[in-house]
Chain A
């Protein structure tokens, strides 16, 4: 029932927005829909923590991993929608966008959020694929939102690269259905049904299928070398959309890889998928670290940070066992801290009118609260103690050092490079002398509260994990 509330609220809101012309009503409806989604996702997570699974309809089913991801989307969607209202008002007051753009934004935002919820709860791989593809379609115009040549170029790149990736993922996903053809399977095939029949899977086909899946959905996750769309899309999209792409969409795509990994592991043993995940994970950490060092744009810097963290997650999931527990927790921390970073980067953009690092100087005295948010986010995301990401990175590396020492040392080395590179840019942006002509201001409370709440949340979760969430993460560690 909760899932139906989520779908109905987003579809209803998107349809009503098409018909109305009152900006306040559009904003309130969107916040209302996100609030319904947030509350519903909390209820779903609580139910799954008690009953193990939540299946409202045959084609919608949420397990522990799905409920964690829905909780992440629910929280982020509420924060980003509230932030979007004030952010777009500021942009309207600067004559960057008009009412039609605002209307378009909220229609697409609601469709995007609905697609992510449906992809996370789909009980069939093709159903999940359809909604992940729908996220591409709904976000393409959000990336080209400002209608500038650069944003159009970023959106085109995003559309083409993701479409190719997802078509390869589609082929890979369909190959998993070879396990069901002998069973007369033209009916609805659930994840569980595929898993139960995985022993029928030809090992060679399973390997090829997983490679296609990893390339396909890995494109959406942003694993190197399929990551090329990510810095462009993240830097050109409005800040709240960047937060959603990094914090919410990345885990949704990762979940599909993990679900198909379980089936592959049954067919060919875990070594194959683990080695691939470790390889792409470490490669992503290394490439992101090297590029971050010379980044010139702070939103692109955040995109490369997402690539690095996707690599950390892949590395953790590839290690298995305790690594999966740490990687799942890392996924939660990363999603929340990216909201802090992207939303505070939006505040910087509003104040400085530039996303170039060289144009942002002395931010700590110009936008002090935003600066504290961004610097805190930087410390958390790079794995500075005592925050949660430090613990998850250490946990992943301590598991890895026993089984894959070389990969772990390489990963550790490049994680240190990430910290140094990020620190270099943060120092330049926040601690250097400010430009004389810039007004000191951090006055819009609704641009501060959403990232602040997430900072408190990620800080709190670093020291205390609620029992229901602990149960869910433990269940993911057992099943994946």
Chain B
């Protein structure tokens, strides 16, 4: 696949993360996650084209079904079921979020992380973007007060780590990749059940309303 196209895909991934930080609507966040997962699936498909390993095609298929289709459907159903159109607020204000995102991106491109981003020197630009997306995903989880946003943050973190390892040439055998995807699938189901339970018990997805463990 053309390197420019891959850069474009990673640019899309980066923008979805910025969007996830800014959006106030849960449905739009779900769509952004779906797009991000689609990018990863395309990159995985690229690996299949390069290796012609048909087990990788199975990985691509599972990634498409679980991350691009099923997970967003789960989240959309949750949003509809509990009328969660708007996401819970963030700890930081929007201008501050943008400043922190810029700093995180700068750090990812800095010399400090050169050993990581130059694992494959030809992919340095892509690895730097992937690293900045990892940092931004971590920040998303920390900054969001909503349980659903935190879940999407963790899934984004998983996507960004996958993007990093693909371009660092650290892809595992398809068997192990299927194991990881299966794990994430179970994780999504469990996290969705927990969201329903949280809403049932607390009447909100705002995790700051959970204050039963202060002793």
Residue B168, interface by CB 8 Å: yes
Residue ID in chain A nearest B180 by CB atoms: A130
Chain A residue at smallest Cβ distance from B120: A181
Residue of A nearest to B150 (CB): A160
- Residues of B in contact (CB 8 Å), total 41
* Residue pair A171, B194 in contact (C-beta under 8 Å): no
B50 to A: closest C-beta gap in Å? 11
CA distance A144 to B171 in the complex (A): 35
Interface stretch of the complex, out of A11-19, A148-156, A363-371, A417-425? A148-156
CB pair A126 B157 closer than 8 Å: no
* Closest partner residue, chain A, to B195 (CB atom): A156
Which of B61-69, B71-79, B89-97, B184-192 makes up part of the contact surface?
A: B184-192
CB–CB A150/B187 < 8 A? no
User: Which single residue of chain B is at the shortest CB-CB distance from A204?
Assistant: B115
B49 within 8 A of A: no
B197 contacts partner chain A, Cβ-Cβ < 8 Å? yes
Task: Check B180 against A126 for contact (C-beta < 8 Å).
Answer: yes
Docked-complex contact B176 and A187, CB < 8 angstroms: no
B212 lies within 8 A of chain A by Cβ = yes
Q: Are A205 and B116 in contact (CB under 8 A)?
A: yes
State whether the Cβ of B9 lies closer than 8 Å to any Cβ in chain A.
no
Partner among A156, A171, A187 whose Cβ is within 8 Å of the Cβ of B164: A171
Which residues of chain B from 198 to 215 have any CB-CB distance to chain A below 8 Å in the complex?
Answer: 198, 201-202, 207, 210, 212-213, 215
Determine the main DSSP class of A at the interface with B.
Answer: helix
Asked if A297 is at the interface of the complex by the 8 Å CB criterion, the answer is: yes
In whole Å, how far is B171's beta carbon from the nearest beta carbon of chain A? 7
Q: Contacts A150-B212, A297-B215, A300-B215 known; A130 to B194 CB distance under 8 Å?
A: no
Whether B213 pairs with A159 at a CB distance below 8 angstroms is no
Whether A164 pairs with B194 at a CB distance below 8 angstroms is no
> Quick check: B161 and A171 within 8 Å, CB to CB?
yes
A137 and B187 form a contact (CB under 8 A): yes
> Does B138 have its Cβ within 8 Å of any Cβ on chain A?
yes
Question: Which residues of the other chain, A, contact B175 by a CB distance below 8 angstroms?
Answer: 188
Contact assessment for B201 and A133 in the assembled complex, using a CB-CB cutoff below 8 Å:
no
A133 to B187, CA, bound (A): 9
Chain B positions within 8 Å of A148 at CB level: 212
The answer to whether A356 has its CB under 8 Å from any CB of chain B is yes
| Interface residue? A134 (CB, 8 A) | yes
Q: How far is the CA of A150 from the CA of B215 in the complex (A)?
A: 11
Partner of B119, one of A154, A164, A187, A205: A205
| Contact string against A for B residues 158-185, beta-carbon threshold 8 Å, 1 for contact and 0 otherwise | 1001001100111111011001100100
Residue of A nearest to B164 (CB): A171
B190 to chain A, nearest CB (A): 6
- With contact pairs A130-B176, A133-B183, A208-B116 given, residues A155 and B212 touching in the complex (Cβ less than 8 Å): no
B141 at interface, CB cutoff 8 A: yes
Encode contact with A along B31-57: 1 for CB under 8 Å, 0 otherwise: 000000000000000000001000000
Q: Are the C-beta atoms of A152 and B191 separated by less than 8 Å? A: no
B70 at interface by CB-CB < 8 Å: no
Task: Tell which of A141, A154, A186 touches B171, judged by Cβ atoms closer than 8 Å.
Answer: A186
Contact between chains at B170 and A181 (CB < 8 Å): yes
Query: How many angstroms from the CA of A204 to the CA of B119 in the assembled complex?
Result: 11
Question: Is B147 on the interface with A (CB-CB < 8 A)?
Answer: yes
B89 to chain A, nearest CB (A): 18
B186 touches A174 (CB 8 A): no
Q: Choose from A133, A152, A164 the contact partner of B157 (Cβ within 8 Å).
A: A164
Which listed residue (A137, A297, A300) contacts B186, Cβ 8 A? Answer: A137
CB-based nearest A residue for B151 = A160
Any chain A CB within 8 A of the CB of B154? yes
Contacts of B198 in A (CB 8 A): 152, 156
**In contact, A202 and B115 (Cβ under 8 angstroms):** yes
Measured CA separation A336–B46 after assembly (Å)? 50
Tell me the chain A residues, 284-331 only, with Cβ under 8 Å from chain B.
Answer: 296-297, 300
- A163 to B141: give the CA distance in the assembly, Å: 11
Q: CB within 8 Å of B: which of A190-228? A: 202, 204-205, 208
- Would you call B115 and A205 a contact (CB within 8 A)? yes
What is the chain B residue whose CB lies nearest that of A177?
Answer: B170
Whether A152 contacts B171 in the complex (CB less than 8 A), given A130-B176, A160-B141, A178-B119, comes out as no
Report which of A130, A155, A186, A297 forms a contact with B179, defined as CB distance below 8 A. Answer: A130
Contact A174-B183, Cβ < 8 Å, known A141-B190, A160-B141: no
CB-based closest 7 A-B pairs: A204-B115, A150-B212, A153-B210, A130-B179, A181-B169, A177-B170, A174-B170
Q: 8 more A-B contacts (CB under 8 A) besides A149-B202, A171-B165, A178-B119?
A: A133-B187, A140-B190, A153-B212, A156-B147, A160-B150, A163-B187, A174-B172, A202-B119
Can you list 17 A-B contacts (CB < 8 A)?
A: A126-B180, A140-B194, A147-B197, A149-B202, A149-B210, A150-B213, A154-B213, A159-B190, A164-B141, A167-B154, A167-B161, A170-B161, A171-B164, A171-B165, A178-B119, A186-B173, A187-B173
Chain A interface residues toward B at CB < 8 A: 124, 126-127, 129-130, 133-134, 137, 140-141, 144, 147-150, 152-157, 159-160, 163-164, 167, 170-171, 174-175, 177-178, 181, 186-188, 202, 204-205, 208, 232, 236, 296-297, 300, 356
